């Protein structure tokens, strides 16, 4: 399913649809452990298959060309580092295109969130590892981390 990563505009539409679908029931989700666990299960299932999601709990896909930054061998939340090879590949894994080169190219194909890649992302909060990014989003945890970083 990783082939979908070459279709960032489609993935962006899927993301927007998910927001439309989940937003109206977010308070219900926050009150129900069963719904939270179900959401986390769905995240693990689909995001792992499509994005190689590492369940960081602070999803920034729509700011990174629908490319998971946690697949960068250095786990950079803002990239690229200074080690990108001349062919655009990673210095740690020479056979792999730099995650941030991919993110940049894919962002250009995203009509709505493409420009988000120009923003600076907050550092990763390791305490949210292996939690649901959607639940963290709805509970305001993700936003407060980004706000603290921006101010
Ligand atoms: S940014 Fe985090 S939650 Fe989003 S796909 Fe990557 S590891 Fe998963």
Quote the pTM value. Answer: 0.91
Q: Is 40 in the pocket of ligand 1 (CB under 6 A)?
A: no
| In a domain? residue 145 | no
Q: Is residue 147 in some structural domain?
A: no
Query: For ligand 1, atom 4, which residue shows the shortest CA distance?
Result: 59
Mutate to test the pocket of ligand 1, among 1, 50, 52, 58 (most ligand atoms within 8 A of CB): 58
Whether 110 is in a domain gets the answer yes
Q: Which residues pair with 97 in a beta bridge?
A: 89
Distance CA 63, CA 57 (A): 15
93 in any annotated domain: yes
Q: Is residue 60 part of a domain?
A: yes
66 CB near ligand 1 (under 6 Å):
no
Residues 75-122 have pLDDT tens digits of 999 999 999 999 999 999 999 999 999 999 999 999 999 999 999 999
Range of the domain at 95: 2-140
């Amino acid at each position: 399913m990783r082939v979908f990563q070459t279709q960032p505009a489609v993935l962006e539409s899927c993301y927007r649809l998910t927001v439309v679908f989940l937003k109206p029931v977010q308070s219900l989700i926050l009150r129900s452990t069963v719904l939270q666990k179900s959401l986390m299960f769905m995240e693990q299932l689909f995001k792992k298959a499509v994005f190689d999601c590492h369940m960081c709990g602070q999803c920034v896909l729509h700011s990174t060309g629908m490319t998971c930054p946690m697949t960068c061998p250095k786990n950079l939340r803002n990239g690229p580092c200074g080690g990108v090879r001349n062919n655009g590949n990673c210095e740690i894994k020479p056979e792999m295109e730099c995650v941030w080169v991919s993110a940049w190219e894919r962002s250009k194909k995203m009509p709505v969130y493409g420009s988000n890649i120009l923003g600076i992302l907050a550092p990763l909060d390791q305490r949210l590892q292996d939690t649901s990014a959607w639940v963290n989003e709805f509970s305001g945890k993700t936003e407060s981390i980004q706000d603290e970083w921006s101010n």
